[in-house]
Structure 1
Amino acid sequence: MNSLVDLHLHSTASDGVFPPAEVVRKAAARKLRYMALTDHDSVDGIAEALAEGEKHPCLTVIPGVEISTDIAAGDVHILGYFINWQDATLKRQLAGMRDSREERGLAMVEKLAELGMPLEWSRIKEIAGDAVIGRPHIAQAMVEKGYISYIGEAFEKYISRDGPAYAERIKLDPAGAVALIKAAGGLAVMAHPLTLPNAEEMIKELAAAGLTGIEVYYASYREYEIERLKRWAEKYGLVATGGTDYHGLDPATETMIGGQHVPLSAVEGLLARLPGAKT
């Protein structure tokens, strides 16, 4: 049975496979009541998603973003919900981060060439289309060249954080991302917290900085991990949210839209934290 809520979805506005409108149509077809478009460092797909959402009265499309941040222990991703996606400061900051993504892409292509796997940058740009060039686009070009058999293999062997062709890019620190989201009228939620070795310490730190919630119901989390995250959410006064982190990359292995149970209380909790909400 599909969930009625999915608060972590990607489109071609960042590194997803399907255009924003198609993501909304897929969510509507799976009978979701609430979805959030949360592209990486981009709000470019929100207008299209909201317009498509108006055609599906049973579905509420929440404008969102997923901001990539960095600490010594690894990546920390901060989701922003109910943001003013037209906020000038937010768009300016995200534009700078997207420019850094393209520079990172070029650096990875150079490293792949040094490893004996040359790629044409023009082809990668064709694959990306209007989206910001991301690692899945590079991976798809690698598949076309026959260097790998499937997109996931690129991450497993070459372009993951510890891979030989990985390159860094400009990122905010986690507290800075929380502040940016709040300044744009949104609510900040820490995505997939268990990717960090010191997850609870980071949650505690960000809760003090204005974090609203943590992603508890996540596609790859086991029941005992979800229970641990629920305890942390309660301990630090945070909303327990969740989603699939759907990109449309590989239907054989990826959790489909709405495929991770997320209770309606996730949306209700966020709505209660919006500025001006009635208690």
Structure 2
Amino acid sequence: MIDLHVHTNCSDGTLTPTELVKRAAVKGVTTLAITDHDTIAGNEEALKEGVRLGVEVIPGVEVSIKIGEVGVHLLGYGLDFTTPRGLAAFNRLAVAREERLVRMVSRLNELGAPITSNEVKQLAGGEVIGRLHIAKVMMRRGFVPNLQSAFTQYLGKRGLAYVDRERLTPIGAIEVIKEMGGVAVMAHPGVLERELGEFPEDVVRELKDMGIGGIEAYYSRHSPEQTEAFSELAAKLGLFTTGGSDFHAPNPDGIELGRGYGDMRVPEECLVELKKAISNTRN
């Protein structure tokens, strides 16, 4: 099985890169791409464990961008995570996450929440800090009754303490991915379709003009009709297709590596075309 979209605790997953690759081996996943949000930190560890267990690991990333006011995610595959510009770009995003934490905690303090940035960092325990960690500290301090309340009232996009994340520009993100020897792919277009309320062909065309090479047509939350529609769009625009589960954490009733909700399968042809595109970028 192939899974080209998974997360570790270097972003918002729960498993370490080593644990994730071990789970992939147990579940029969033979090729795995590490695509943590706005960080390349987990790739080296995952590659080492992949060599040990015989699981092919493709170094990657999932980058948040905006096209106008529309939030879009790009997947980068085949990255050389030692390139200076790539390291600089993702180090800057790490600094921005830290600054975002401080600003959100400051807003919460103004609203009466008795929490500190240090508490959030301690709870994260070395993981990349996200809003979930802030929400857990808010619960621990009794400021909110549950995580849903924390996000609905304070940390969600319309929340009182929300601070938007810093993003690379669309062209900047694609250029960084290419400079690292990789290829850029539009992630889960069906998610964008639900948000827009319409088929996102115009966004895909705009991203193609900027330099993406493919679309993630196979995805846990895509219906069979969406998978077919995005595969047809890719063919029409001369893009290849990829696929992945978007696995974050072990959950008996949730998304599983390589299978999504049970019936997702990424065709071997997707991996062949992806490797061809990576090779072309490097040559």
* Deviation (angstroms), 1:233: 1.2
Structure with the larger RCO, 1 or 2 (CA within 8 Å, 6+ apart): 1
Query: Is 1:5 aligned to residue 9 of structure 2?
Result: no
Query: Is 1:160 aligned to residue 156 of structure 2?
Result: yes
Alpha-carbon distance in 1 for matches of 2:138, 2:222: 29
* Deviation (angstroms), 1:153: 5.5
Name the residue aligned to 1:263. 267
* CA 26–144 in structure 1, closer or farther in 2 if over 3 Å, else same: farther
Residues 113-144 of structure 1: CA deviation (Å, up to 9, x unaligned) = 34443323222101222233122222332343
Code of the aligned partner of 1:267? L
* CA 88–145 in structure 1, closer or farther in 2 if over 3 Å, else same: same
User: Identity of paired residues, percent?
Assistant: 38
Contact 2:37/2:61 (CA < 8 Å) preserved in 1?
yes
Alpha-carbon distance in 1 for matches of 2:218, 2:142: 36
Code of the aligned partner of 1:176? G
Alpha-carbon distance in 2 for matches of 1:109, 1:22: 31
Alpha-carbon distance in 2 for matches of 1:180, 1:200: 24
Alpha-carbon distance in 2 for matches of 1:61, 1:134: 25
* Deviation (angstroms), 1:276: 4.6
SS of the residue 1:258 aligns to: coil
Contact 1:15/1:137 (CA < 8 Å) preserved in 2?
no
Residues 41-73 of structure 1: CA deviation (Å, up to 9, x unaligned) = 21111111111111211x211100111212332
Matches within 5 A, 1:55-134: 55-57=52-54, 59-134=55-130
* CA 264–138 in structure 1, closer or farther in 2 if over 3 Å, else same: farther
SS of the residue 1:39 aligns to: coil
Alpha-carbon distance in 2 for matches of 1:264, 1:17: 28
Name the residue aligned to 1:34. 31
Alpha-carbon distance in 1 for matches of 2:243, 2:148: 23
SS of the residue 1:55 aligns to: helix
* Deviation (angstroms), 1:152: 5.6
Alpha-carbon distance in 2 for matches of 1:242, 1:157: 34
SS of the residue 2:53 aligns to: coil
* Deviation (angstroms), 1:147: 4.7
Residues 252-273 of structure 1: CA deviation (Å, up to 9, x unaligned) = 6641222322222221110121
SS of the residue 2:103 aligns to: helix
Alpha-carbon distance in 2 for matches of 1:259, 1:158: 34
CA RMSD in angstroms comes to: 2.2
Greater shift, 40-49 or 156-165, is seen at 156-165
Contact 1:158/1:166 (CA < 8 Å) preserved in 2?
yes
Code of the aligned partner of 1:89? R
* Deviation (angstroms), 1:156: 4.7
Contact 1:103/1:169 (CA < 8 Å) preserved in 2?
no
Query: Is 1:174 aligned to residue 170 of structure 2?
Result: yes
Contact 2:75/2:185 (CA < 8 Å) preserved in 1?
yes
Structure 2: runs of 5 or more not aligned: none
Number of residues paired by the alignment? 272
Structure 1: runs of 5 or more not aligned: none
Code of the aligned partner of 2:274? L
* Deviation (angstroms), 1:199: 2.4
Contact 2:139/2:147 (CA < 8 Å) preserved in 1?
yes
Name the residue aligned to 2:238. 237
Code of the aligned partner of 2:202? E
* CA 21–75 in structure 1, closer or farther in 2 if over 3 Å, else same: same
Contact 1:64/1:81 (CA < 8 Å) preserved in 2?
yes
Alpha-carbon distance in 1 for matches of 2:23, 2:142: 31
* Deviation (angstroms), 1:74: 2.7
Name the residue aligned to 1:199. 200
Give the structure-1-normalised TM-score.
Answer: 0.88
Residues 47-105 of structure 1: CA deviation (Å, up to 9, x unaligned) = 11111111211x21110011121233232111110111111100101111111111112
